[in-house]
Amino acid sequence: MSSLSALNSLLSGSSSSSSGINLTEILQAALGASSPGIDVNTAVSAAITAAEAPEQTWLSQESLIQSQTSALNSLQSGVSTLDSDLLSLNNLMGPLSANTVASSNSGIVTGSAVSGTAAGNHVVVVNSLASTASWASGTVASASTPLAAGSFTITGADGTVTTISTGTGTGTLNDVASTINADNLGVTASVVTDANGARLAIVSNTSGSAANFSVGSGGGLSFGQIVSGSNASFSVDGLSLSSAGNTVTGAVPGMTLNLLSASPGTQISLTVAPDTTQASTAINQLVTDYNAVISGLNSQFQDSGSGQGVLATDPTVRNLQSELLGALSYTYSPVSGTTSIPNLSSMGVSVNKDGTLSVDSATLNNALQNHYSDVQNFFQGTAFNGFAASLDQQLTGFLSPADGAFTVDLQSLSSQYSTLQSDVTNFQNNVIAPLQQQLQAKYSQAEILLQQLPTEMKQIDQELGYNNSNG
């Protein structure tokens, strides 16, 4: 079969392929060109691009789902942060239960209190501080001066006697100090050097009279006691107490006393009160995180010129916005008695037109200074049934990892995305790949035939008696 006949057969079999490329038009263009031919790769690529048109819809849907997933994850993170704020405010050990301890003379005694410590005033008198027993040797020329062979003893607080040798192996003060420290005797030895020479100092690791110890002389060293271990003597609210250390716990439930200096007869007032700074910080943080979530929700429903956000039609987002805005109308009603803080506005937290919150610092500080328990009750209720627990319960419906609205929504988007990916993969494997192979073969065949056509046309001319000179 001639090239022309083959081309005619090729054209009659596929004058207009499914790819949208017309082989007749290619032939006509090739015949009119100075060098007939087809750019096979370009032609196949153009045909495949046209054939992949349905795939663009799926890819656009995939892109939308990715944007929706990212936006939902961001909202979920913001709601989770907001819920953590609520849990903190509802915690017995949280910021609303934190305390401060003010001292009338912080040079003598200070204090700290754990969350939940009862507010009140306590009077402390520090008669004497706890001391730590210590001994020291006489001086020798230096820390490395050779010591005479011999020994001395250290008698511990429990009566245990330990002999320390000098001379062989422990020939200097440095050697002796290392030996004592390695024996774990409840004391620490060190070499102290001054203008007079070097001395071996031995100090108890624990203060108080129960940690007293003694050191006997020997090995060319004579020891004397520098400080005798003694307990601190003080009183709290008139009750005389004793402590082995100057940091005291248990004298007042929930409080730690730091005895700093002795001042017999001087009454120091320690006042335990709610930590309004921590409370204010926590409430302001709640407002900040609430506003971040509301602003994120609002942005989904605002037309920025290119349409609303990717989650504008998502029911989870609309429900969340409704729940959060509705929560602001919460009113606390005590089972008995009255309260001066029944709602957010009574503590200076107001609602703006866009649903965000603003804090009037002066009103909030006044509420914390003068109605602290009412503020605490608003958030915690009488049995953790206040505002914090109420909103937390609503948010749990969105945040639950098992069946929360965010979880269900994200799982649905993930399923849709997987289906689209499968559609794209199947389309590529079952439609595009075979088509590309078919077109590659056809165009390549047409290219070969077109390359042979000029020679065959010349032969036909010769057979018909035409030549260039005959014009």
pLDDT digits (tens, 9 = 90+) for 182-226: 999 999 999 999 999 999 999 999 999 999 999 999 988 999 999
pLDDT score, position 90: 96
**How many other β-carbons are positioned within 10 Å of the β-carbon of residue 373?**
13
Do 275 and 98 meet the contact criterion of CB atoms below 8 Å apart? yes
What is the DSSP secondary structure assignment for residue 47, as one 8-state letter? H
Phi then psi dihedrals of residue 414, to 5 deg: -65, -40
The first and second tokens of residue 66, run together, are 């990715």
Q: Which residues of the chain have pLDDT under 50?
A: 1, 14-21, 27-35, 471
pLDDT score, position 431: 77
pLDDT score, position 231: 97
Q: Crossing angle for the helix pair 387-399 and 53-89, nearest 10 degrees?
A: 150
pLDDT score, position 10: 54
Long-range contact set of residues 362-370: C-beta below 8 Å, sequence gap at least 24 = 364/280, 364/283, 364/284, 365/276, 365/280, 367/340, 367/341, 368/274, 368/276, 368/279, 368/280, 369/276
The first and second tokens of residue 7, run together, are 């081309």
* Spatial separation of the C-alpha atoms in residues 302 and 297, rounded to whole Å: 9
* Spatial separation of the C-alpha atoms in residues 343 and 188, rounded to whole Å: 60
CA triple 387-393-398, angle to 5 deg: 130
pLDDT score, position 437: 78
pLDDT score, position 21: 46
Q: How many helices (H) and strands (E) are present in the chain, helices listed first?
A: 12, 17
Q: Which amino acid is at 97?
A: S
Q: What is the pTM of this model?
A: 0.72
Strand 239-243: give its sheet, edge to edge: 99-103, 268-274, 120-128, 232-236, 239-243
* Spatial separation of the C-alpha atoms in residues 57 and 340, rounded to whole Å: 59
CA 123 to chain centre: 43
pLDDT score, position 350: 97
- Is the C-alpha dihedral spanning 397, 398, 401, 402 positive or negative? positive
Do 255 and 246 meet the contact criterion of CB atoms below 8 Å apart? no
pLDDT digits (tens, 9 = 90+) for 259-269: 999 999 999 99
pLDDT score, position 9: 59
